[in-house]
Structure 1
Amino acid sequence: MKTIKYLACFFLVVTGACISSCTKEDDYKEITKDGEIYYPGKADSVAANGGNSRIQLQIHLGNDPLVTKVKAFWNNHADSVVGNVVKTTGNDVVELLIDNLSQGTYSFDVYTYTSDNAKSIVKKATGMAYGDNYLKALTNRTIKAISYAQDGSKVFIDWNEAADGEKSIELKYTDEAGATQTMIVPVGTMKTEVTGYRSDTKLTYRSIYLPEPHAIDEFSIGYTEVALPLFERQLSKSKFSQYVLPTDARDAWGWLMSYLWNEDYGTPGFATTNGIPQWFTFDMGESVSISRFKTWQASDRIYRAESVKKFEIWGSNNPASDGSWTGWEKLVDCQSVKPSGLPLGETTAGDIDYAKAGEEFKFPAGTPKVRYIRIKVLETWGNGSFITMGELSFWTSDRITE
């Protein structure tokens, strides 16, 4: 009895296995009735490189020789782009450029295909398209300071820190011939030198951004414009020397003309013999167009006695040896002021501070270049019969060309 039961069970198992086997075979035959299924080799890698309202897909293929095209889908497969594969001896790369994208993140499904449209399994990639919102967030790098080399041969631009994504700075300036020159300032640069520039012009610049390391487009906003500050250098007093002409006033009282440029703002200064008006001459050691001048009164007689009040500054490159005014040109008229306006003998602390800081006089634009200076004194603060001065300094916008 038990034997019959076991045989019956065995028969049922074998019968079921045969039925199942036949069903699978029938299914396989149905699936492969047009030939075996073939999946082409999928892409090895896909890079989605962002750009300005576009994305470039860089598709690196494997070594499947039957792949003839690639196709990328996005927007839930509602949009697609296709590219043909051109075979080479190496690993092939197909680049697909997708334009007219709104700013945002995009997901791509990439497939390879054979000539008979056999399709690979999917390779996914994600990329970002950039647009107006990204541009609105960009700013040009700011400048911390602009300065000059002492001889005026270079402009130094000190930059503030760069924002994330800045690749470079495009800097434009006007050269000495009047032509526009362009410099590319590398990323991370904190100080830039500009040579051969033209005075009284402007710098224009803009930051160039790369939103991601392999972005296909650079981004920038409008140029920032910065006026170059006026270049000035103080004339070296080490080159100054007395240049006595026959009609000039002479040193007196042990107060020598050389004390006018010794950088000692105390006493003694420079004093002359009697006689108003009077003049004296010195050599600056180089011919320049003077931009401004400062004078200091003798510290022991501020707004008093022989301190110079009203005077003229004349210049020459070839003064007449007889002491006449031949070859001289008046450069500027000067008159010292007392801030308080108080009468002779009365001063305020503000008056004293003003005088001790040095009184500045500007020269007109286009003042001719001169080497020799003649100061003609017309009046003193105390109507003295001779003059005293403490110190002199001169500046020029001329660059050193030697």
Structure 2
Amino acid sequence: MKRIYNNFLLLLICLSGFSACDDVMDTHKAFIEGGEIIYAPKPDTIFFVAGKNRIELNYEISKAPNVKFINVYWNNGNGSLIEPLELSSGTEKGKIYINNLEEKSYTFTVELQDSYGHKSLKTTGIGSSYGDNYQASLSERRISRMTTSDDGGIIEWNIASEDLVRNEIKYTNADGEEVFLKMDAEKSSLLCPGAKPGGFVEFRSAYIPEEACVDTFYTAWVRSDELGMIFPHVYTMEEADRQNWELLYYDNTDPEEGKPEYILDNNPSSYWHSNYRDGQQKPYPFTFVIDMKDELMVGKLGAMSRENNYYTKGISYYISDDDEFTAGNPDGNHWTYIGEIELLKQNGMQWSEVITSTLEKQVKGRYLKIICTSGHGASHLGAIAEITVQKVTAIDGEDL
């Protein structure tokens, strides 16, 4: 009886095994119907690089001489590119461009196809296309300052924006030759060899939105002179001869303390002083008009405080090229503001530059008006030992 039971149990096990085999075959049957599936080789590597309304696909494929096409799909298959390949039995690297792409990010599906129509397993990757929106966000790197040197001109730049890779500059040198320069974004100054004083540059900025982007985005060319920037002229100056200068007008003085004409006597020990007597005090400003006798182009402004008494602080300078001074009326002439000086609490002559815009216009005049605008102390106390200017005698080496 026991033997019959064992035989029966063995029969059940065999029947169960046959049933299990049938189930496994059923599972694989769908995959082998019509024969074995053959795949073309996959790319070893693919990666995508951003561009301007395009994306660059880079690939590396090994031992695939029968592969004849690379198929690329995007936008859920609505976009596609079939590109023929010629591969060897070794390792091949190459790139193709997917053009006319809208500005956005894309997910790509890539497969290889051999000469028999077999396709590889699919590989995916991500890339971005940039266009008008990115372009509209860009602005040129601005110039901070332009100076003139013995070697030409120097441009100093503001801080670089994100994505900036370089600036491009072009100008005409002193020999009349066109010069083209490039300056990397990490630099903040650029020497322009042979740039001529008074000359301008044209410049633009180059950007890439991603590292290794295949296309560079440029801002429009800009002329520096249209932004009020040029390589400054070189001015040769000397102090004006004040021997014949004449004081024509003043509106405040204490003659017992210091006469107004003392500001022109070339004596540091003498000085003009405002009226500080009780009942006669007058607050700033104090005005003087001087006839320089010659029409001068003024390059620097000079003033000297009363020795060891530093009352006056701010002085503004104006010049007039009118034929004559309107007697008694300091506002009767046409005056051009040429600059100011802020006197420090120290002895000796102090100098200040005439404003650049006035120098560039080469403004000249015979009459000089100075207005003492502020003091270091009480609002009615003012004192000056000397007033003078430096005149321009030559511009860029050429005598006036």
Superposition TM-score, scaled by structure 2 size: 0.61
Q: More displaced, 43-52 or 84-93?
A: 84-93
Aligned residue number for residue 68 of structure 1: 68
How far the C-alpha of 1:31 sits from its partner, in A, is: 4.2
Aligned residue number for residue 298 of structure 1: 265
Cα separation, 2, equivalents of 1:215 and 1:338: 71
Letter matched to residue 309 of structure 1: D
- What's the CA shift string for 1:220-241, capped at 9, x where partnerless? 221222114362334376xxxx
Letter matched to residue 61 of structure 2: L
Aligned residue number for residue 165 of structure 1: 163
How far the C-alpha of 1:116 sits from its partner, in A, is: 1.4
How far the C-alpha of 1:96 sits from its partner, in A, is: 2.5
- What's the CA shift string for 1:2-34, capped at 9, x where partnerless? 543443332122123224435645775774465
The 3-state SS of whatever aligns with 1:118 is: coil
Aligned residue number for residue 242 of structure 1: none
Aligned residue number for residue 233 of structure 1: 234
Aligned residue number for residue 300 of structure 2: none
Match of 1:309 among 291, 301, 312: 291
Contact kept in structure 2, 1:43 and 1:62, CA below 8 Å: yes
Cα separation, 2, equivalents of 1:159 and 1:20: 80
Letter matched to residue 161 of structure 2: A
Match of 2:186 among 188, 192, 208: 188
Cα separation, 1, equivalents of 2:342 and 2:50: 64
How far the C-alpha of 1:168 sits from its partner, in A, is: 1.2
The 3-state SS of whatever aligns with 1:12 is: helix
Greater share of strand: 2
Structure 2: runs of 5+ lacking an equivalent: 245-262, 273-288, 297-320, 332-339, 344-348, 367-385
Matches within 5 A, 1:213-224: 213-224=211-222
The 3-state SS of whatever aligns with 1:61 is: strand
The 3-state SS of whatever aligns with 1:11 is: helix
Cα separation, 2, equivalents of 1:203 and 1:41: 56
Change (3 A) 1:95 1:334: same
Cα separation, 2, equivalents of 1:219 and 1:132: 10
The 3-state SS of whatever aligns with 2:16 is: helix
Change (3 A) 1:352 1:120: closer
Matches within 5 A, 1:332-371: 341=330
Change (3 A) 1:199 1:89: farther
The 3-state SS of whatever aligns with 2:81 is: strand
How far the C-alpha of 1:158 sits from its partner, in A, is: 0.7
- What's the CA shift string for 1:311-367, capped at 9, x where partnerless? 3479xxxxxxxxxxxxxxxxx99989999749xxxxxxxx999998699897996x9
Structure 1: runs of 5+ lacking an equivalent: 238-259, 262-268, 273-295, 315-331, 343-350, 368-376, 378-387
How far the C-alpha of 1:208 sits from its partner, in A, is: 0.6
Matches within 5 A, 1:50-65: 50-65=50-65
Contact kept in structure 2, 1:233 and 1:395, CA below 8 Å: no
Aligned length: 302
Cα separation, 2, equivalents of 1:207 and 1:156: 18
Letter matched to residue 98 of structure 1: I
Letter matched to residue 171 of structure 1: I
Change (3 A) 1:399 1:125: farther
Aligned residue number for residue 396 of structure 1: 394
Contact kept in structure 2, 1:202 and 1:226, CA below 8 Å: yes
- What's the CA shift string for 1:251-293, capped at 9, x where partnerless? xxxxxxxxx69xxxxxxx9869xxxxxxxxxxxxxxxxxxxxx
- What's the CA shift string for 1:192-213, capped at 9, x where partnerless? 0112224444322111111112
Letter matched to residue 193 of structure 2: T
Superposition TM-score, scaled by structure 1 size: 0.61
Cα separation, 2, equivalents of 1:33 and 1:117: 18
Aligned residue number for residue 91 of structure 2: 91
Contact kept in structure 1, 2:237 and 2:394, CA below 8 Å: no
Matches within 5 A, 1:315-326: none
Cα separation, 2, equivalents of 1:211 and 1:225: 25
Letter matched to residue 209 of structure 1: Y
How far the C-alpha of 1:130 sits from its partner, in A, is: 0.4
Change (3 A) 1:44 1:298: farther
- What's the CA shift string for 1:107-134, capped at 9, x where partnerless? 0111112211222222111000001111
How far the C-alpha of 1:106 sits from its partner, in A, is: 0.1
Cα separation, 2, equivalents of 1:399 and 1:69: 70
Change (3 A) 1:270 1:50: closer
Match of 2:205 among 190, 194, 207: 207
Query: Does 1:156 pair with 2:154?
Result: yes
Cα separation, 2, equivalents of 1:144 and 1:24: 78
Cα separation, 2, equivalents of 1:363 and 1:119: 73
Aligned residue number for residue 100 of structure 2: 100
Cα separation, 2, equivalents of 1:352 and 1:168: 39
Cα separation, 2, equivalents of 1:338 and 1:216: 72
Matches within 5 A, 1:109-148: 109-148=109-148
Cα separation, 1, equivalents of 2:155 and 2:231: 14
Change (3 A) 1:392 1:216: closer
